Structure 1
Amino acid sequence: MPGIRTSGGLTLAGITLAALLAIVGHVAVEGLDPVSVTVSDYAVSDSGGSIHVAMLVIAAASAVLIPALRRLGPPDGRRHAATALLAVWAGGLLVSGLVPTNPPGTPMDTAAYVHRYASVLAFLALPIAGWLLAIRLPAQPHARRWLRALALASLLLVAAMAWSAYPGDRALYGLIERALILTEITLLTLLATLPAPRSPLPAIMQFLSPQKPQINANRRP
């Protein structure tokens, strides 16, 4: 389907642009430790504004993929749930990019809580969507295995972040978050590169297509 290929190309272009913006946002900031502080902490620094733009770019790149994934296989509850979760992922990134967190070392305000829980929803939604879409790929076992592996790894990293944020005293919090982001962006990249499913031939085309003669193996001359 051309729509899937076109949407996938736009998504890949958006991922590439967002990665470059995120790198610029990290390099431009001094005095913060990426192992312990979050990407959002970099984004609210004086030189980290490009990271907010990167979040918005990924949100847009994910949104253009939603209509194409709706055409991935016959409609059922799993497909509808997966596309809805992908919309939650895109929406969570959009809110996170528009509503910044508080600067490091300052009390959390309402905007910071909105940013936090929008990010949590996004981080949870994408791997579940990937797992549901993997079920719909029986003819693509390699892609199905990778989607499931990336989805499971993402959920484990979400659990690791929750542990670090509360009983773990934020140990390696920034490093775990960056590993989670890398894993989920890899999952999104895989979704964008899924081959387009072949549409079945219309009935008239099946009737007109030449049929190969069947050879009876038991027939003797």
Structure 2
Amino acid sequence: MNLRYLALAGIAAAGALVIDGHLDPDGDLNPWSLTVSDFAVSDRGGVVDWAMVVMAAASVALLFALRRSGARVGAWVTALFGVWAAGLTVAALVPTDEPGLPLSAAGAVHRYASVAAFVALPVAGWLLGGRSVRVLAGLSLACALAMVYSAFPGDRVLIGLAERLLLAAEAALLVAVALAAPGARDRAARRRGAVSTVP
């Protein structure tokens, strides 16, 4: 089984599930001012929750694909991918609070699991290297900072837009990592010391 293609299929499926979760939402939900988690909490166990689980599984498959390909994946990258996948899974299992309600203990777990995931992935991408991967890692971090600004001093203005741009950048980052992973021919060349880790 080609784990790289499995990971790419999972990333695409997760994206399709998120889009589906926005096609027939409650009429009061505004994607520009509400986060994806706000959409998910209105449909517990629905497609958005499943999208997070599928993305986590696809990311684990990608990590194994990288290791199998012969890419130099160190302990830091492995740990950061683990934080990303675990954060998505926790966020799927532990719901945030309904929009407008005070932050509960469960909501805090959801929030900080999400923050950890959003930060871990671009750092992992930066450590993996490669021009396109690092560009997307930088873009992801910029979107994360925009979301943090919106969440706190910005009074949640356009927080939904900031998060969706962040999620798109991080999905693109995963795709770039998958496409940059060495193939079978590269593995043979790597054994001869002729190929770098990431193009």
TM-score range, shorter chain: 0.7 to 0.9
Ranges in structure 1 where 5+ consecutive residues have no aligned partner: 135-143, 204-221
Aligned equivalents of 1:157 and 1:201: distance in 2?
35
Q: Percent identity among equivalent residues?
A: 51
1:214 is matched with none
4+ runs deviating over 4 angstroms? 71-75, 200-203
1:198 is matched with 187
Say whether residues 1:35 and 2:32 are aligned partners. Answer: yes
Does the aligned pair in 2 maintain the 1:66–1:87 contact within 8 Å?
no
1:8 is matched with 4
Structure in which a larger fraction of residues adopt helix: 2
Per the TM alignment, residue 103 of structure 1 is displaced from its structure 2 partner at its CA by: 0.9
| 1:10-29 correspondence runs (5 A) | 10-29=6-25
* TM-score, structure 1 normalization: 0.79
Q: Which amino acid aligns with 1:45?
A: S
Structure with bigger gyration radius:
1
Task: Provide the aligned C-alpha RMSD in A.
Answer: 2.1
2:88 to 93, 103, 112: 93
* TM-score, structure 2 normalization: 0.87
2:62 to 45, 50, 65: 65
Q: Which amino acid aligns with 1:55?
A: M
Length, aligned pairs only: 188
| 1:82-121 correspondence runs (5 A) | 82-121=77-116
Does the aligned pair in 2 maintain the 1:21–1:51 contact within 8 Å?
yes
1:159 to 136, 140, 145: 145
Per the TM alignment, residue 70 of structure 1 is displaced from its structure 2 partner at its CA by: 2.7
CA shift in 2, pair 1:15/1:201, >3 Å: closer
Ranges in structure 2 where 5+ consecutive residues have no aligned partner: 193-199
Per the TM alignment, residue 120 of structure 1 is displaced from its structure 2 partner at its CA by: 0.4
CA shift in 2, pair 1:200/1:42, >3 Å: same
